């Protein structure tokens, strides 16, 4: 089941081919016994348009989600800062990859 889904992703060159593959796969999963596979098929059906948009454009928002996670981590570490200027400075300091050990006064 997993291999078939990976094949659809790997060999699906166009939207129509991928859509047909996903429809067949979802139907197969809904008629199978394992409940987690049925849950996955329902989830794919719920996010049908987004999955097909990925097939069309091959881009995701993974970079933005990663950056958001980093900013949330800085927000947790920066409790007690008084205003947004301090918060944005903390973000720049953590993501700027600055070597503060080489700074001389």
How many structural domains compose the chain?
Answer: 2
**DSSP H/E element including 42:** helix 35-46
Shared-domain flag, residues 14 and 39: yes
Looking at the domain assignment, is residue 103 inside a domain? no
Give the whole-number percent of the chain exceeding pLDDT 70. Answer: 94
pLDDT over threshold 80, residue 26? yes
Please check whether residues 45 and 78 belong to one and the same domain. no
**Is position 104 within any domain?**
no
Q: Is the overall model pTM greater than 0.85, yes or no?
A: no
* Distance, CA of 52 to CA of 40 (rounded, Å): 16
- Residue 77, pLDDT above cutoff 90: no
DSSP state of 31: T
Say what the pLDDT of residue 99 is: 73
Q: Which domain holds residue 2?
A: 1-59
Q: What is the pLDDT of residue 31?
A: 92
């Amino acid at each position: 089941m997993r291999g078939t889904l990976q094949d659809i992703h790997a060999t699906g060159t166009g939207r129509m081919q991928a859509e047909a593959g996903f429809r067949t796969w979802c139907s197969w999963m809904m008629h199978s016994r394992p409940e987690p596979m049925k849950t996955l098929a329902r989830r794919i059906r719920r996010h049908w348009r987004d999955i097909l948009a990925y097939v069309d454009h091959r881009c995701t928002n993974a970079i933005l989600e990663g950056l958001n996670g980093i900013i949330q981590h800085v927000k947790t570490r920066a409790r007690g800062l008084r205003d947004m200027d301090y918060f944005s400075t903390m973000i720049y300091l953590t993501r700027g990859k600055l070597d503060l050990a080489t700074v001389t006064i």
